[in-house]
Structure 1
């Protein structure tokens, strides 16, 4: 049923409009009547009618001013002006406000019914159009996700990529943050035995990501064939991307009661998506085959590398084993010592951050967990072979 509100200050006319026709024949329900403009304004905002009969000359707030104020609140509603003024000026103002029709008092019953019939037909067309648009949006999103799945796996050539990229209205920009989130189902956080299905886990994680990344309206995300959630965030710096991903991970782990792995990087154009996806996917797969203890330790290091006080003792306390035993297991499963793995993680993060020309070297050092620039530069040169400044200048000797 369409909702009708009658705004008319004269009781006799108001009553006449209410009973002028059997409105239910037009699928209309008269929801209320208002005797002045201010009352009509409050009623309309609260009850959101689809059709309004509006008198021009009402106390406190005239009909034209009422329509003007309600346009913001009820953009899809139909306004039918009913006036005792046969003046061109009023009609001209009403036309500018895009009112549906302008009827003169005394209102002819046949003319009123014809106008209302046209109004309901217009509302029906608008409703169907909106439904089609929603269906198109849903279909478009599904097409986008399918395209990204196929493209990331190298199943689409570049010529077709550019064509589909424009056709599907991607708007990722020249600097794209790519993140991959993977839920480790086998490990429950804090002993929580949560029996989530794969579908529910993916659905919940997508909702959390969408909620936290709400400011990035042009973001895209899809689930790959391995159950990973891949997120493309436009116009974002590495530092901001890392912070957002930590927020997503912490919230999702608390909600799902599962360990979540996250890896990320920045792309400088959309054609890098398949290459970067494969690189990050391999990083995610490096967790495969590890014991739960080392997975927890590795994940903790990967997420807390930026803290200056991160130590073997602290990680061992977190996984509830002795430092000696953890050190031995890390060496056995990752092939490197705790300190070498931590250094590797910190320097890899530094390689991403140092590409940002607005970050000073000492700021990069602090962001990856080094208390002094000197200590950072020594570690960087030991791993990469050149200084951070030389690396930033364009020298690339990292294998």
Structure 2
């Protein structure tokens, strides 16, 4: 496995090289680049599976690099490492499917946890890609999977395959449209979670309606999970009526809502993908709060609203988290709802984006408090589906209540974890002080390292060890100095420097005050003894 580190600061690249456990994760090749342009050349040449990248760099910054990677090397896992704790940077990293977002200076433990998780995720996805390849080879021999695969490729290829045109009896027409139908996980549940049965049953209804009028062809769109594509070649004025009939028939037969959106007309089969993309955007733009009898969208439905991001509330969420009480989240949740549902409009796309950001924020807090993620946070599950009514509208109040319960459970876990860690945290601080005895460890540093106040550390440490941290550090340094005096020929000033004192006169005075004799006298006593 190969890794690329992209940062314009050489010491940062070297630091990541030194801190990461490469061998443990089977990483054999490590490359470096100082900007996005150089990184692209290395990516094209070596095709690294994992890429660590800064955001602010000369020539080509991290945002443009992530955009290029998403389009040209989507299988690579990217981890953003930046000194800017800015929700806009974080939002861009999420938008371009970055695996994680780390802040400088990088914590070695967090870095290695992220490295381990990224490698595991890449291996998992690589296994899925290999399985998909084997599956694709199999579907060539199967029906209707063969049909779905051939038509999916026909739609995405942007070229006219005469063989497919004849095999599936496409009609010559002056214009074509592509409609997109969504099948959610809740829809699949109506068929006892049998995905194949769900697609077969729904496609059967659609095909009957289309064949009757010789109006088009429908198939499972394999390029995107949960979609059926319908290529239409009937008259424009018949599209609305025909799709409405299909929607209502499915609704009446299975008591499920499968929304349909139609892209604009195209004059050539090679441009079908343009119509599909407009239809998909239409589908994602539907107002999920709207009570609507028939969810068929012919005309654009998305008003010009500002794109909303949960990340702008990071500071407020952090403050509420510090209180440890669910009541502190009430105003935040209400404010977020007001922003996201402006004028009673919440697009499906915006809802999905909120859920994605909510999970990312939540995962960071779970990781922060070292609490295992709940099983409901499985990355493959779509929890939003559970909050849609049979007629297709989104149950916002139930979704909010669910999130509040989830946050409340998390806060209880934090309190339980805190109570068990409270007694041990001081001993962790003691270990830290001992490990860094040769430099001045300030209370502020300990506060930032262990996320507790200076006052608490000072009070709790003295209660546990009956001395201040300063006196404890002095004791450790003197003991180290005694050992060096007895077992080495180092000069007194050299020993003073090694145990954290730059002024050897001060060290001599402190040593005599603590031990009762000067450093030289102590050494002489050990030699003569």
TM-score normalised per structure 2: 0.29
Q: Which has the higher strand share?
A: 1
- Higher relative contact order structure (alpha carbons within 8 Å, sequence separation ≥ 6): 1
TM-score normalised per structure 1: 0.38
Q: Which has the higher helix share?
A: 2
